[in-house]
Amino acid sequence: MEPSSSTSRMELPSTRSRPSMEFLEEEGVEVLEWTPRSPDLHPIENLWSILTRRVYKNGRQFNSLAELRTAIEYAWESIEHKIVRSLIDSMPRRCQEVIEKNGNKTHH
């Protein structure tokens, strides 16, 4: 990693361990705290929702794991890049809204 770079981290026990934190500090990585339960700041949740709706469209059920996997892969490939770009581009607005609402729930 580049010295003085910053990163967010997932809120998993392994990412909070002393060795992990010492390593990041030694490498000059500024760790940004990231709330684990804030869908407002996790646009991937929107993407999972889109994927789920496409996989289970019209109440579709699957007879095998292979069938489900194929449906997931097809649905994933069908997600347009403009949707992903829109979610990425929404981050400044999402952050601003969270700030304006003092960390309370937003419309995302």
User: In this structure, are residues 37 and 61 in contact, taking their beta carbons and an 8 Å threshold?
Assistant: no
Q: In this predicted structure, what is the pLDDT of residue 4?
A: 45
Break the chain into its structural domains and give their ranges.
Answer: 1-34, 39-100
Strands 6-8 and 30-32: parallel
pTM of model > 0.75: no
Q: In this predicted structure, what is the pLDDT of residue 61?
A: 95
Tokens 């770079």 belong to residue: 5
User: In this structure, are residues 94 and 107 in contact, taking their beta carbons and an 8 Å threshold?
Assistant: no
- Record the tokens describing residue 23, joined without a space: 């390593």
User: Going residue by residue through the chain (108 aa), what tens digit of pLDDT does each one get?
Assistant: 444 444 444 444 555 678 888 888 888 887 766 665 666 678 888 899 999 999 999 999 999 999 999 999 999 999 999 999 999 898 888 888 888 887 777 776
Q: In this predicted structure, what is the pLDDT of residue 44?
A: 86
Indicate the SS3 state at residue 30: strand
